[in-house]
């Protein structure tokens, strides 16, 4: 019953008035910056870091963690309402969430996102409480070869993201991979495709491309359609989903949670990768894959649950090993160090109150987010009744500020504008931006891990089939390819038989 | 919504709302060292939040602001191994309102690695004071056969070309530390570079995927204590107090100089001497603060300050020379 004692300690810590207040402040701030594109948790947490110096450790960590998952939560709001993902992890939510909004189901989409996130947050909290140390061991088992095979699997699955032409999707993925090669080569330090511009030496920021392609591109695209209301129905049905609707998103939310919990622990991908994978999974197993891209509720529930679960399980390697899996987690380690605490295997024993308090606060924070956001949905939806000629300039301006705030770089704004124009071209060509973004994330990771695995094995490719984890993912990749190609072959064969007959 | 964020932030962090980094332009009023500082001072950190430099900056931000009587605003300007932030600071008006948090990488190593770098740190900056000294540890996977660096060298000699070493990047100080050992002892190992800080590299050593690496004590110490990593040597002059059983590289006869990832504050060349001295005095006070010393120590970082700006200059010169020699001898290139 040690677990119950630990959880009791955690909840008594997290429910202490001062911690509760800082937790609320964190999720409130997180939701706010999450709604604003570009302004991410990394910048916010680092600005607040010196202030946490004077706070008790539990309050500091609880507030910063609240900002982090609050931001992941808030990011989906603008994704659904105006197809503008506030955070990179909500890019996928924009696909079907925005379509739901255009069909007048904005309220339902927002409620689905909120409740799926809550389900995921609850289960991920339990998972961390019960299994954190054991899961950290699993994460350590992943070597470069295993990452490579996992990413290959992800890239193949990315094709499923396409709602229209598969050929166009593959083209977009490859374009994304190409864009991802920009920047300094990790192995040799050679600049690639930087055009002699120092600002390009680390490649292009994901948020710059995402905001250009989605935010700016979509805006131009919508304006070119002329009609002022743009098909978004401002009338809204009841905000609380019906029982049938809850049933329809419960299973996807659970699957998304499982997927997100696993991927969240691995460095690099985290919430972004898990939301993409969850979408791909839902589309693949759906009985009506044609609905995806046109406002499928599963396409909102799965990815939203996944990114929230991943945002939480990302704490596992940080809390148990002191290893950050992302920039935000590196900041969390910084926050611990500012408190004079050292993250690592001893944290659990030496600072049990902090450890369990933080875990309990995640669940409380998720509950606060639902309470905070459900009443807000009505207000958010009213935003849609703002005429586009007023809404769009505001969106453009917020996008520009957001992009600029990433690195205080004017060049980033110009680059985002360029991608905005490209986004418009793709919009007209009916090429979807989501596969491009996935290629952009996965491409460099595949390259890095492929080369690293081969360096470690001194050039022997056997390493990819020698390791059980890697082999498993490679077999799954082959199976997935067969599943995707088989219907096409069968159709062709049927045609051939018809011709013979 | 645009005005809402500064409002919310401002609510919490008081005057710190400026920290969004959007507003400061370094516009200087009439230069007068006697009433310096009379406006917020920006401290340029050439790396993203979450790294060692950002940590040092955020930790001393409040105390340094107190001692100077003006708010220090940390501006993260990352990119190109820190060179973008360094150039931005070097080009800023030398009025004391732009300071630069340099480190071993940007100030001592990059000038020798990037031939196209327009900034010459020793000419374009006036060093003020070192602030943080972060010694390194040589760590190995838990089941590695060697117990210390000396045994490690023997092992690599007996197994040439079979050992892999990780590093947080091609031009990182941790890579150069290993290259120096490799060159001095005539070893043959494969370099496995990582990116995104030392975390992913250390995780792969911990998981047994890579054999060995140099890393800051901060990154490794807890996992060494928990037996998840083996510490083979420290890069300090004397043994690290919290790891008394780990020998130093120097006592094992593998090097004759300690090495460190350090951070220090510099100002653009041309900043008036009275201002330099004023900031120096404030930094010395800040780094003496017991809370800062204690919090840095628990993170594996030693809070330090230079006796004078001149002493810091000498320190940088010697450090820069050391890495320049290794880069030249080992034939390392990054551009």
pLDDT of amino acid A141: 85
User: A426 in a domain, yes or no?
Assistant: yes
Q: What is the CA radius of gyration of chain A?
A: 22
pLDDT of amino acid A395: 79
Higher local confidence (pLDDT), A122 or A239 = A122
Helix (H), strand (E), coil (C) string for A40-95: CHHHHHHHHHHHHCCCCHHHHHHHHHHHHHHHHHHHHHHHHHHCCCCCHHHHHHHH
pLDDT of amino acid B22: 39
| DSSP β-bridge partners for residue B135 | B260
- Output the six-digit token pair for B306: 């230079």
Nearby residues of A424 by Cβ (< 8 Å), 6 or more positions away:
A216, A217, A220, A221, A224
pLDDT of amino acid B24: 42
Nearest CA in chain B to A42: B49
- The reply to whether domains B38-134+260-330 and B135-234 share a CATH topology is yes
Nearest CA in chain A to B4: A32
pLDDT of amino acid B30: 43
Size of interface A-B (CB pairs under 8 A): 196
| DSSP β-bridge partners for residue B139 | B213, B231
CB B62 within 8 A of CB B73: no
pLDDT tens-digit readout, B164-179: 999 988 888 899 999 9
Written as one string, the DSSP assignment of A381-394 is HHGGGS-HHHHHHH
To 5 degrees, how large is the angle CA A246–CA A434–CA A124? 45
pLDDT tens-digit readout, A48-69: 888 887 888 899 999 999 998 8
Neighbours of A126 (CB within 10 A): 14
Nearest chain B Cα distance for residue A418, angstroms: 21
Distances (CA, A) of B233 to A78, B192, B243: 52, 20, 10
Say yes or no to pLDDT of A368 above 50. Answer: yes
Helical residues (DSSP H) of A83-195, grouped into ranges: 91-102, 106-141, 144-158, 166-180
Nearest chain B Cα distance for residue A364, angstroms: 21
> How far is it, in rounded angstroms, from Cα A456 to Cα A4?
44
Name the DSSP class of A192. Answer: E
Helix (H), strand (E), coil (C) string for chain B: CCCHHHHHHHHHHHHHHHHHCCCCCCCCCCCCHHHCCCCCEEEEECCCCCCHHHHHHHHHHHHHHHHHCCCEEEEECCCHHHHHHHHHHHHCCCCCCEEEEEEHHHHHHHHHHCCCCCCCHHHHEEEEEEEEEEEEEEEECCCCCCCCHHHHHHHHHHCCCCCEEEECCCCCHHHHHHHHHHHHHCCCCEEEECCCCHHHHHHHHHCCCCCEEEEEHHHHHHHHHCCCCEEEEECCCCCCCCCCCCCECCCCCCCCCCCEEEEEEEEECCCCHHHHHHHHHHHHHHHHCHHHHHHHHHCCCEECCCCCHHHHHHHHHHHHHHHHHHHHHHCCCCC
Mean predicted confidence (pLDDT) in A105-116? 88
Nearest chain A Cα distance for residue B45, angstroms: 12
pLDDT of amino acid A498: 56
CB distance A330–B197 less than 8 Å? yes
- Output the six-digit token pair for A235: 């009338």
Which stretch, A8-22, A140-154, A226-240, has highest mean pLDDT? Answer: A8-22
> How far is it, in rounded angstroms, from Cα A111 to Cα A126?
23
Smallest Cβ distance to B16: which of A47, A189, A456? A47
Residue-averaged pLDDT of chain B: 85
Nearest CA in chain A to B49: A46
Instruction: Provide the greatest CA pair distance for chain A.
Output: 83
Nearest chain A Cα distance for residue B230, angstroms: 15
Say yes or no to pLDDT of B311 above 60. Answer: yes
Confidence class for position B232, pLDDT limits 50, 70, 90 = very high
Q: What is the architecture of the domain spanning B38-134+260-330?
A: 3-Layer(aba) Sandwich (3.40)
CB B138 within 8 A of CB B233: yes
DSSP-based three-state secondary structure for A183 = strand
pLDDT of amino acid A131: 82
Confidence class for position B251, pLDDT limits 50, 70, 90 = very high
pLDDT of amino acid B19: 38
Mean predicted confidence (pLDDT) in A257-261? 90
Name the DSSP class of A191. Answer: E
A interface test, pick of B199, B206, B297 with most A CB neighbours within 10 Å: B199
Mean predicted confidence (pLDDT) in B228-238? 92
pLDDT tens-digit readout, A5-23: 888 888 999 899 999 999 9
| DSSP β-bridge partners for residue B266 | B100, B127
Distances (CA, A) of B290 to B94, B240, B279, B293, B303: 32, 20, 19, 5, 10
Smallest Cβ distance to A143: which of B20, B204, B333? B204
User: A193 in a domain, yes or no?
Assistant: no
> How far is it, in rounded angstroms, from Cα B295 to Cα B300?
9
Residues belonging to chain B: 335
CB A103 within 8 A of CB A233: yes
Say yes or no to pLDDT of B27 above 70. Answer: no
CB distance B333–A324 less than 8 Å? no
Say yes or no to pLDDT of B261 above 70. Answer: yes
pLDDT of amino acid A282: 87
Say yes or no to pLDDT of A168 above 80. Answer: yes
Distances (CA, A) of A102 to A109, A304, B142: 11, 19, 56
CB A161 within 8 A of CB A435: yes
Residue-averaged pLDDT of chain A: 83
Mean predicted confidence (pLDDT) in B135-150? 93
Confidence class for position A351, pLDDT limits 50, 70, 90 = confident
CB distance B193–A397 less than 8 Å? no
- Interhelix angle A41-52/B52-68, rounded to 10 degrees, is 50
The CATH class of B135-234 is alpha beta
DSSP-based three-state secondary structure for A486 = helix
pLDDT of amino acid A385: 74
Nearest chain A Cα distance for residue B28, angstroms: 20
pLDDT of amino acid A482: 85
Confidence class for position A501, pLDDT limits 50, 70, 90 = very low
Mean predicted confidence (pLDDT) in A431-454? 87
Nearby residues of A239 by Cβ (< 8 Å), 6 or more positions away:
A107, A108, A110, A111, A374, A377, A378, A381
pLDDT of amino acid A500: 47
Q: Give A396: exposed, middle or buried? Use CB within 10 Å, 0-12, 13-18, 19+.
A: middle
User: A476 in a domain, yes or no?
Assistant: no
pLDDT of amino acid A374: 80
CB distance A186–B170 less than 8 Å? yes
Work out whether strand B212-216 and strand B164-167 pair parallel, antiparallel, or are unpaired. Answer: parallel
Say yes or no to pLDDT of B264 above 70. Answer: yes
Say yes or no to pLDDT of A364 above 60. Answer: yes
Phi-psi region of B70 (alpha: psi -120 to 50; beta: other; left: phi over 0): beta
CB B327 within 8 A of CB B110: no
- Phi, psi (degrees; rounded to nearest 5) at B199: -55, -60
pLDDT tens-digit readout, A177-225: 999 999 888 888 788 898 888 788 888 888 888 888 877 887 787 777 6
Mean predicted confidence (pLDDT) in A247-263? 90
Mean predicted confidence (pLDDT) in A395-413? 82
User: A224 in a domain, yes or no?
Assistant: yes
Q: Give A73: exposed, middle or buried? Use CB within 10 Å, 0-12, 13-18, 19+.
A: buried
% of chain A exceeding 90 in pLDDT: 17
Confidence class for position B11, pLDDT limits 50, 70, 90 = very low
CB distance B195–A339 less than 8 Å? no
Q: Minimum mean pLDDT among B195-199, B247-251, B300-304: which range?
A: B195-199
Neighbours of B147 (CB within 10 A): 13
> How far is it, in rounded angstroms, from Cα A165 to Cα A245?
30
pLDDT of amino acid B334: 58
Neighbours of B158 (CB within 10 A): 9
Say yes or no to pLDDT of B13 above 50. Answer: no
Residues of chain B with Cβ-Cβ distance to A204 below 8 Å are none
Mean predicted confidence (pLDDT) in B52-60? 88
Domain count, chain A: 1
DSSP-based three-state secondary structure for A184 = strand
Which stretch, A119-128, A491-500, B10-19, has highest mean pLDDT? Answer: A119-128
pLDDT of amino acid A281: 84
pLDDT of amino acid A239: 64
CB distance A398–B1 less than 8 Å? yes
% of chain B exceeding 70 in pLDDT: 89
Smallest Cβ distance to A189: which of B16, B51, B335? B335
- Output the six-digit token pair for B227: 């037996």
Instruction: Tell the residue number behind the tokens 């000038």, with chain if given.
Output: B111
Higher local confidence (pLDDT), A406 or A362 = A362
CB distance B222–A35 less than 8 Å? no
**Tally of CA atoms within 13 A in the half-sphere of A387 that contains its CB:** 5
- Output the six-digit token pair for A305: 């649950």
**Tally of CA atoms within 13 A in the half-sphere of B134 that contains its CB:** 28
User: A339 in a domain, yes or no?
Assistant: yes
Residues of chain A with Cβ-Cβ distance to B59 below 8 Å are 50, 53, 338
> How far is it, in rounded angstroms, from Cα A18 to Cα A377?
28
CB distance A267–B50 less than 8 Å? no
Following CA atoms B245, B181, B143, A150 in sequence, which dihedral angle do they give, to the nearest 10 degrees? Answer: 130
> How far is it, in rounded angstroms, from Cα B218 to Cα B209?
21
User: A482 in a domain, yes or no?
Assistant: no
**Tally of CA atoms within 13 A in the half-sphere of A101 that contains its CB:** 30
Residue A221 lies in domain: 2-145+200-434
Mean predicted confidence (pLDDT) in A254-283? 82
Say yes or no to pLDDT of B12 above 50. Answer: no
A interface test, pick of B5, B165, B228 with most A CB neighbours within 10 Å: B5
pLDDT of amino acid A161: 65
**Would you kindly state where each structural domain of chain B is located, as residue ranges?**
38-134+260-330, 135-234
> How far is it, in rounded angstroms, from Cα B166 to Cα B189?
10
Residues of chain A with Cβ-Cβ distance to B207 below 8 Å are 140-143
pLDDT tens-digit readout, B105-126: 999 999 998 888 889 999 999 9
CB distance A456–B195 less than 8 Å? no
> How far is it, in rounded angstroms, from Cα B259 to Cα B137?
10
pLDDT tens-digit readout, A454-475: 999 998 999 999 899 899 989 9
């Amino acid at each position: 019953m040690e677990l119950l004692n630990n959880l009791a300690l955690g909840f008594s810590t997290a429910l202490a008035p001062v911690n509760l207040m800082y937790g609320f402040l964190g999720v409130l701030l997180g939701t706010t910056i999450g709604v604003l594109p570009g302004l991410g948790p990394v910048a916010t947490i680092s600005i607040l870091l010196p202030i946490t110096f004077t706070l008790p450790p539990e309050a500091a960590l609880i507030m910063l963690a609240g900002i982090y998952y609050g931001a992941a939560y808030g990011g989906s709001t603008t994704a659904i309402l105006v197809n503008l993902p506030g955070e990179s992890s909500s890019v996928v939510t924009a696909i079907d969430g925005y379509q739901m909004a255009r069909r007048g189901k904005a309220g339902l989409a927002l409620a689905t996102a909120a409740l799926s996130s809550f389900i995921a947050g609850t289960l991920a909290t339990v998972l961390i409480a019960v299994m954190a140390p054991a899961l950290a061991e699993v994460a350590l088992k992943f070597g470069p070869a295993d990452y490579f095979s996992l990413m290959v699997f992800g890239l193949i699955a990315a094709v499923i993201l396409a709602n229209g032409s598969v050929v166009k999707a593959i083209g977009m993925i490859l374009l994304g991979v190409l864009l991802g090669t920009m920047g300094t080569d990790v192995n040799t330090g050679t600049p690639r495709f930087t055009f002699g511009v120092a600002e390009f030496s680390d490649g292009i920021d994901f948020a710059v491309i995402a905001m250009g392609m989605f935010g700016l591109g979509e805006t131009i695209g919508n304006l070119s359609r002329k009609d002022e209301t743009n098909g978004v129905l401002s009338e809204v049905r009841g905000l609380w989903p019906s029982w049938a609707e809850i049933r329809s998103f419960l299973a996807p939310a659970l699957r998304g949670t499982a997927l997100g919990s696993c991927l969240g622990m691995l460095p690099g991908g985290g919430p972004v990768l898990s939301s993409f994978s969850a979408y791909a999974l839902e589309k693949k197993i759906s009985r009506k894959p044609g609905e995806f891209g046109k406002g499928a509720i599963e396409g909102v529930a799965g990815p939203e649950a996944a990114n929230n679960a991943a945002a939480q399980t990302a704490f596992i390697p940080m809390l148990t090993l002191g290893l950050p899996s992302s920039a935000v987690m590196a900041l969390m380690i910084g926050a611990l160090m500012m408190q004079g605490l050292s993250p690592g295997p001893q944290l659990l024993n030496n600072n049990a109150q902090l450890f369990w308090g933080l875990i309990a606060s995640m669940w409380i924070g998720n509950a606060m987010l639902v309470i905070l956001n459900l009443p807000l949905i009505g207000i958010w939806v009213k935003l849609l009744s703002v005429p586009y000629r007023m809404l769009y300039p505001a969106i453009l301006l917020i996008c520009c500020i957001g992009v600029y705030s990433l690195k205080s770089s004017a060049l980033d704004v110009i680059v985002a504008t360029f991608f905005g124009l490209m986004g418009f071209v793709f919009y007209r060509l009916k090429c979807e931006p989501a596969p491009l973004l996935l290629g952009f994330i996965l491409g460099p990771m595949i390259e890095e891990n492929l080369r690293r695995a081969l360096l470690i094995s001194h050039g022997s490719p056997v390493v990819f089939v020698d390791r059980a984890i890697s082999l498993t993912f490679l077999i799954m990749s082959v199976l997935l390819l067969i599943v995707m190609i088989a219907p096409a072959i069968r159709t062709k064969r049927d045609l051939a038989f018809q011709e013979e007959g | 919504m645009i005005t809402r964020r500064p409002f919310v932030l401002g609510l919490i962090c008081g005057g710190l709302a400026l920290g969004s980094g959007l507003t400061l332009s370094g516009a200087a009023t009439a230069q007068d060292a006697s009433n310096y500082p009379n406006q917020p001072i920006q401290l340029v950190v050439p790396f993203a939040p979450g790294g060692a430099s950002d940590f040092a900056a955020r930790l001393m931000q409040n105390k340094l602001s107190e001692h100077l009587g003006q708010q220090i605003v940390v501006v993260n300007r990352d990119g190109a191994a820190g060179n973008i932030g360094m150039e931005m600071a070097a080009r800023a008006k030398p009025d004391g309102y732009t300071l630069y948090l340099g480190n071993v990488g940007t100030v001592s190593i990059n000038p020798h690695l990037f031939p196209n770098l327009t900034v010459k740190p020793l000419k374009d900056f006036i060093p003020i004071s070192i602030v943080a000294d972060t010694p390194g540890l040589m760590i190995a996977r838990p089941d590695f056969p060697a117990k210390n660096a000396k045994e490690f060298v023997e092992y690599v000699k007996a197994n040439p070309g079979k050992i892999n070493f990780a590093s947080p990047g091609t031009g990182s100080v941790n890579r150069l530390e290993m290259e120096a050992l490799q060159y001095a002892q005539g070893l043959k190992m494969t370099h496995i570079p990582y990116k995104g800080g030392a975390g992913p590299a250390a995780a792969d050593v911990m998981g047994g995927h890579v054999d060995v690496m140099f890393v800051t004590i901060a990154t490794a110490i807890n996992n060494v204590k928990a037996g998840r990593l083996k510490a083979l040597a420290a890069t300090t002059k004397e043994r690290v107090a919290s790891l008394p059983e780990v020998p130093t590289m120097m006592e094992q006869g593998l090097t004759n100089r300690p090495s460190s990832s350090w951070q220090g504050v510099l100002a653009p060349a041309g900043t008036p001497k009275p201002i330099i001295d004023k900031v120096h005095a404030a930094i010395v006070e800040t780094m003496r603060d017991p809370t800062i010393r204690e919090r840095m120590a628990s993170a594996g970082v030693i809070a330090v300050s230079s006796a004078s700006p001149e002493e810091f200059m000498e320190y940088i010169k010697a450090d820069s020379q050391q890495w320049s020699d290794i880069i030249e001898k080992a034939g390392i290139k990054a551009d």
